[in-house]
Structure formats: C-alpha cells, structure tokens
Amino acid sequence: MVKEASDIVEIVGSYISLRPAGQMTFKGLCPFHDDHRPSFDVDPKRGRYRCWSCGKYGDVITFVQEYEKVDFAEALEILAKRAGINLEKNENLVQNRLRGSMLDSVHWASDQYHQCLQESSLAAEARSYLSSRGLEDEIIRQFGLGFAPRRGDWLLELAHNDGVDVGMLEQVGLIGQKTDKPGLYDRFRERIMFPIRNVLGNPVGFGGRILPSSSMAEKAPKYYNSSDSTLFSKSEQLYGIDLARSSIAKAGFLAVVEGYTDVMMSHQMGICNVVATMGTAINARHLRQLRRWTNKIVLVFDADTGGELGVDRALELFVTNDMELLIATLPENLDPCDLLLRDGPESFQKVLDTAVDALEFKLTRVLLEANKAGATLETKRKATDSLLSVLARIPVEASPSSQLKLELMLGRVGKKLGISVETLKARINELRPKAESRKVENNNTSTNEELRRAKPAPEEKELVEVLLANSDLVKRARLEISPDDLNHPGLKQVITVCMIYLTKTWYPTWMRYAPVWVTARLVRGWWILLTKVGEIWNL
C-alpha cells in the first residue's frame, strides 16, 4: 500500500534530478556510483529504476533503503510519512529501531530548544542577539533555531518530565556524563542551537553558538557541534541543504559559505542556493553528495581566510573531480551576512556571479607573486611550482576526462605564464614523485628508513650534484635556498652538511682552535655526506 501510494519518479526525483527521456522513462546521474553521464533510468510504468553502469536496480523502497542507508522497515516509514499513511508499528517490520529512536530524540530536543527560543524568558538575550544580527522571526522559524539555557540540567529535566529516553539523548551527544562525579549534564549550555538537518529535513545534530553575552564566552569554544554518530557526520553534513536543494537547479549552481547565519541571511534575502559546511573545508565526500543536484559549486571565501591552503585544496578537488569548482571572494572584512545587510542581495549575487574557477583563481595569484616588484627568478619558480605541484597530484592513471581537463588547464597555464605546454608537462612529471613522497610522509605507518630509501626528485638530485661539483656555488645557494626546501631527507642532510662545511664564511673563528669533539663532528659530517652520496648515486 505504501509502495502504491509512492510515485517513484516523484520520490527518486526528490533525491536526484531527473529529466524525461523518451516516452515513458526518466534519466539522471546515478547516485550509487561515480556517474559521469546519466546512466540511471526510472521507469514509472513498471515502478522500477536501473543503472546501466553499476547495475543497481529495484523499486521505490529499495531506492530509499540504498539512498538513505536505512533498512526496509525504515524506508517504509519514510515513504509512509511522505504519503500520509499511518504505518502501524509492527514489531516484525521494525527490526532496527536504533536509528529511528535517535532521530526521534534529536527531533524532540530540537522542538524543546526551538520552543525555548520562541517563548521562554530564559532566551530573552538570545532573541535580542538574533534580531541584532538582522535575522527575522520567519527565517528563525524556517531553520528551526533554538536556545539551550545555561542551567546545565534543563534538557535533562524536560526529558524526565516527558518520559524521553535519556540514554538515547546521550547517544546523540546532547547529554554527557560528568567527569568529576557521577551524574549527567546538558552538553549544550547558553548556546543558540542551529539544528543540522539531513536532505529530508530531519534534524540529525546541532551546531551550538555560545551567546556572546555569556560569561562562558571567553573560555568556551564559539561553536560546538554534536559529536559524530551514526546519524551525524561533521565532514559530510551541509547546513541548509534541505532548504537549498530545490533552488539549485534554477540557479544553476550551489554556493558554499562558512557560517550558519550566512546561510540564513542569504535565504532571508531570497538567495536560496546557499549552504555551509560544518566548520570543515569542503571535501570530496561533500562533492559526491552534491553531484546529485549540480556539478557547479561556488566556494565563497572571506578576503582574509581564503588562504593559500584553502585555494590549493579547492584546486586539487577541482582537478581530481569531474565538477566545476569556482571561487568567489568577499570584500575585505565582510562575511556574507554583513555584506547582505549592508548592501542588499544584489551585492552578494554579484560576488557569486563574478566567481572564477579554481585554476583561474590560483593563476591570478601566481602571476601576482611572479610579477611582484623585486621578484627573483627563484620566487617566480616557486610561484609556478606551487601551481604545478597541485596539478601533479592528478594520478597518472586518471580517467580520460581528468586527463582532458589537465590538458586544457595546461593550455591555459602556458598561455598565461608564457611557458610551453611541453615544459609544463615535463615539470609536472618531475614534481610527481615529490607529491607521492609527501603522501608517504603523511602516512603514519611509514618509517624514516622507508623515506630515506625513497627516490629523490630528479631536480633535487641535480641541484645537489651541481653543488657538490662546484663548491663555489654553495655560498650563493645558501642565500637562495634552505635545506628545508628539499623533500628527500637524505639530500636534505647532504645539503645541510655542504652548507656548514663548504661555506668557509660559516666557520666561526673559535673553530680554528676547536676541541677534539668538534673535529670529531666535522669528520662525522663528512662521513655522513659521503655515505649519503654513495647511497643516493648507488656508488
């Protein structure tokens, strides 16, 4: 009955975008594999879906099961709720109730916090803070904002009165065990509560912002999230996605900002294709989710926080994912919320419309750095390398579409920097092992020994060779580079030793009268140098 009441096109279409294809089928990007062209068919007549690429198929219930990662009974519940059918809680049907109970607990708590913010005298300051930020009641209601009072047992007491399972509240991270003595306490205190909802609009966790007037504001973290649970994962959730997803198709892209209030203010001003990450940088998992709705993402960076790291990460995601990733920069010292309040929605829309893709963004920075007054050849090389080393992270065995993307990018880079594509490619190939050895460094299981044995990048080896052959150059090299510029640990040591022992100016005068142990170290230094050279050049 639930199945009959659920239109498969409508249900599937609420998760992924579908377009009619042929007489009686609909097509879209498959949500179950990394789909690049629409290979997912929905056939409403037979009530079934099938992916021609990964082979997933089934009916509306299996779709919800797979997509929401729930069991059969829960999928039925979701569909029943949507169809307005009251499903009897049959024990046989409802096998795995944990997830459902967790959802219920978060939902209940969300209602309590919200009601408190709306009505309680305890929330007077919270209400005036929100209105001072320019947020209207309507938008506060729409996003279900709440307030957790200071008391410390406020939620606990409500739970006891309402007969709500405290253990479940503990599981979803709202109640905690005291560390100094036995007993429980509310983990969110004197905080504005932003419910984090999943795609379907069910709250799965909270972000809590400390009330600025709170006496705890000094030492407590400004933002505090629910701990990760089976319901809630900080690195996957997107704030506002439930309200944004229906506007993505029309706008043609999704904008990602940093703050919850930035999302709310955008929606309040009618720009609804806006979400925020949960205090983490956007990652491949986010992109995988978002591809259901769009393949164009605009990252909105503050003028000051859009640092090199953020840009490089965005560029890396851009080149390794089959998506358009653009970067928009805000005017100095303004977040989207401030900008919207000061200059209205047109100003923010303009920021979004003038976004440039991650490569263009990085290129502009590189050119700025390279053409800076007084830039040496070395600074120019470093600026160019900072771009090429990101491109070098594209795996050699990348998909044809990634390869094509790289080709096109190199064409653009070459034109802008006045370097031939062949030279760029050669440099990228040189940088590749470097990027790989960096990966090894991040890997905790690798030992120093493995690193030492790793092959040095050709240009590092060449540099050391040149320096060893022309000791006169070492003095000059010392002004230009530091041993830390090298990635290979063995070569790093060689360079260090070279710099210390080959540049005579580096000897302090007292060394002429050096005691025996210093001489011993000198000898040891030369010994290290020679063995390293031997090791690396296979002598």
List residues binding Zn ion (CB under 5 A).
30, 32-33, 51, 53-54
Distance CA 502, CA 466 (A): 13
The residue (of 12 and 529) whose beta carbon lies closer to Zn ion is 12
The residue (of 25 and 53) whose beta carbon lies closer to Zn ion is 53
Q: How far is the CB of 40 from Zn ion (least distance, A)?
A: 6
Whether the Cβ atoms of residue 196 and residue 109 lie closer than 8 Å to each other? no
Cα angle value 85/86/89 (rounded, 5°): 135
Q: How far is the CB of 18 from Zn ion (least distance, A)?
A: 14
Distance CA 374, CA 303 (A): 25
The residue (of 172 and 287) whose beta carbon lies closer to Zn ion is 287
Distance CA 441, CA 436 (A): 9
Distance CA 289, CA 241 (A): 11
The residue (of 53 and 386) whose beta carbon lies closer to Zn ion is 53
Find how far residue 532's CA is from the centre of its chain.
40
The residue (of 57 and 129) whose beta carbon lies closer to Zn ion is 57
The residue (of 54 and 473) whose beta carbon lies closer to Zn ion is 54
Q: Reduce the secondary structure of 388-439 to three states and give it as a string.
A: HHHHCCCCCCCCHHHHHHHHHHHHHHHHHHCCCHHHHHHHHHHHHHHHHHHH
The residue (of 32 and 223) whose beta carbon lies closer to Zn ion is 32
- What is residue 266's three-state secondary structure? helix
Q: How far is the CB of 242 from Zn ion (least distance, A)?
A: 24
Q: How far is the CB of 249 from Zn ion (least distance, A)?
A: 21
Q: Which helix (H) or strand (E) holds 352?
A: helix 345-353
Q: How far is the CB of 31 from Zn ion (least distance, A)?
A: 8
The residue (of 27 and 488) whose beta carbon lies closer to Zn ion is 27
Q: Using the Cα atoms of residue 443, residue 446, residue 448 and residue 453 in order, give the sign of their dihedral.
A: negative
Beta bridge partners of 357: 326
Q: How far is the CB of 49 from Zn ion (least distance, A)?
A: 10
Q: How far is the CB of 284 from Zn ion (least distance, A)?
A: 18
Q: Using the Cα atoms of residue 476, residue 479, residue 481 and residue 484 in order, give the sign of their dihedral.
A: positive
Q: How far is the CB of 76 from Zn ion (least distance, A)?
A: 24
The residue (of 290 and 383) whose beta carbon lies closer to Zn ion is 290
Find how far residue 311's CA is from the centre of its chain.
12
Query: How many Cβ atoms sit within 10 Å of the Cβ of residue 114?
Result: 20
Q: How far is the CB of 33 from Zn ion (least distance, A)?
A: 4
H-helix segments, 59-176: 60-68, 72-83, 98-119, 124-132, 137-142, 154-162, 166-171
The residue (of 51 and 424) whose beta carbon lies closer to Zn ion is 51
Q: Which residues have C-beta within 8 Å of that of residue 285, sequence separation ≥ 6? A: 235, 236
Q: How far is the CB of 52 from Zn ion (least distance, A)?
A: 8
